[in-house]
Amino acid sequence: MDLNDPLALMWWNPSRGDFLVLSGGSVDGIGQLRVARHSRFEEMKKELDSRITTYHTNNPPHPILVLLERDMHNVLIRLGSLKTTFDQMTFGVTEFQRCYLETLGLLDYLEIYEPRICGLGTASTIANCVGVITNKANIVQDFFNAGIPVWFCRPKLPGPFPHNVLEVFEPFEYSSFLCLEMADPPSIIYDGPLDDRKRHKTLHRFSRSSLVFKDPFAPKPSSATRASSSGASTSGASTSRSVRQPHCKYISSLW
């Protein structure tokens, strides 16, 4: 990773030294992100806020951009004021980084790449990004014109192959490289089609619920209610397993 990259902070991992522990409180082990790091996040957010304001001045409000802007704002407020454990603080940093990068990527697409895809000019350089993986020829053309790298997937036919093939390889399964058990810090793992919008909704839903704590005023169920609920949940879990879609699995864990 290039530490001189303008976005290097968005891949930064906090250490214990970046965690300011609260002293003299009634709860031990909680604290917050150090001011210097939080201030740098704040500076980068202000720069992005100006770009968002300019976009909304010249265009109708974009619903996803509005939501990302709100989430990014709320996460930064929590990082600067809410005392949490170190793991929860680390998750908050990761959440802010994701919101920032998603917002930046969406703005780049709306302002730079989508107009080119629609025929308003062509690119003279190639963007420094992962790019698009597709099996559709028209998608290759659209994103080539936009200046985004394109990976065109085609089947290898029997007999002489009428194309210049530099290398043949088999796609890898990420389950062979990543641990899918309980994550630390807790996170969510998506296992399904990459073009399924549910994966984005699930990630955002998980991040918003990560700091939902136990309600101390919730009434405790009686023993009879617990027994009834236990039977119902067992039945429900069995039913859920039987109807779960095979290609859209979500594994999540909360504190």
User: pLDDT digit string (tens) for 59-100?
Assistant: 999 999 999 999 999 999 999 999 999 988 998 999 999 999
Tell me the average pLDDT across 92-114: 94
Bridge partners (DSSP) of residue 222 are: none
Residue 195: Cβ within 10 Å count: 8
User: Taking Cα atoms as reference points, which of 66, 88, 63, 52 lies closest to residue 207?
Assistant: 88
Residue 175 inside a domain? The answer is: no
Q: Is the pLDDT of residue 249 over 60?
A: no
Residue 13 inside a domain? The answer is: yes
| 73 and 148 assigned to the same domain | no
β-pair type (31-33, 19-21): antiparallel
Residue 169 inside a domain? The answer is: no
In the prediction, which pLDDT does 104 show?
96
Q: Which domain holds residue 40?
A: 1-121
Structural domains counted in the chain = 3
Query: What global pTM score does this model have?
Result: 0.73
